[in-house]
Amino acid sequence: MTSKYKKLLRIGQSRLCLLHGSAESITDDTRPMQQFPFSQGCNLRKTQTPTVPTSSQPQLPTKYNTPLRQAQRDLTRSRIRSAARTLFYESHYDSTTMDEIALAAGLRRSTVYLHYKDKAEILTEVIAEYAPKARNILAMLPGPRPSLQQLNMWVRKVAGFVAKELVPLSIILELRRTNQDIDALEKLTRELLSALGQNNPPFREASHEDASPMLRARGLMLLQELTYACEIHLSDTGDARGKALLKVAAEDFCVFLSNQRE
């Protein structure tokens, strides 16, 4: 190879290096050709190591954590709870299976388990949905010195609420009768007694764990009497017995609150 040809080849390599952004240049024409291999001079195959995020770098949210995804998740969980609530009411809680819940919700069994580990977890959310509604209506108990007329009106409001929420209430009453999920029911009972005490200190005191046993017992009995009266009345709203039970419940609330004021 002639020296003229070697010089032209070196010039071509230098231009290639410039085109590819290499910091290297070939300026020494006297160096032997073997010291300038094409892969070193132009570095065409050079790759950059990807930057690996470290714990100090802020992590971006995953692509699935979006408002739409969250809305879809909430909708699916709502479908599962609705199906389970109906089955718990019609077929009883202890007889209902996760497979039946999946079928009633129109979902795969694996999808149901993706959202809930078992039916007890679904039940907890069913109770959690009912609790604030029940607290709101019980907190309307007039006080601190309600008249019998006021109490009769309030009892009728409670009966209307029970008519709308009969399914979850029936599930809760069944659990109470069969002594299932005791912790959740005890928590709910304390919340309901506390709601009754919104305007009436005796019920508020009865909701405390260290309350007088007699005071707590009376508060619990009144709450159960009210629930029973509403159930019987709603089973046949034209029956005089159901109407009488509502009046008796109102009278017993009146006596309890009057005695506690004395």
* pLDDT digit string, tens, across residues 180-215: 878 888 899 999 999 999 999 999 999 998 999 999
pLDDT band for position 11 (cuts 50, 70, 90): low
Higher pLDDT, 255 or 2: 255
pLDDT (average), residues 134-148: 95
- Phi first, then psi: what are they for 232, rounded to 5°? -65, -40
At 55, the amino acid letter reads S
Confidence of residue 261 (pLDDT cuts 50, 70, 90): low
How many angstroms separate the CA atoms of 180 and 237, rounded? 30
Per the prediction, the chain carries an average pLDDT of 82
Phi, psi of 15 (to 5 degrees): -65, -40
Work out the angle between the directed axes of helices 67-91 and 98-105 (0-180°, nearest 10): 120
- Is the pLDDT confidence value at 165 over 60? yes
pLDDT reported for residue 7: 55
With vertex at residue 258, the alpha carbon angle to CA 257 and CA 262, rounded to the nearest 5 degrees, is: 115
1 confidence band (pLDDT: 50, 70, 90): low
The pTM of the full predicted model, rounded to 2 decimals, is: 0.70
Residue 97 banded pLDDT, cuts 50, 70, 90 = very high
pLDDT at 163 over 80: yes
CB atoms within 10 A of CB 132: 10
Reported as a single tens digit per residue, the pLDDT across 215-239 is 999 999 999 999 999 999 999 999 9
pLDDT score of 182: 80
pLDDT digits (tens, 9 = 90+) for 111-124: 999 999 999 999 99
The pLDDT, as a whole number, for residue 38 is: 38
pLDDT digits (tens, 9 = 90+) for 61-91: 555 568 888 899 999 999 999 999 999 999 9
DSSP character for 35? G
d(CA 149, CA 151): 5
In order of their start, the domains of the chain are: 3-42 (no CATH), 67-117 (1.10.10.60), 125-261 (1.10.357)
Q: Retrieve residue 113's tokens.
A: 């388990």
Rounded to an integer, the average pLDDT of 7-16 is 54
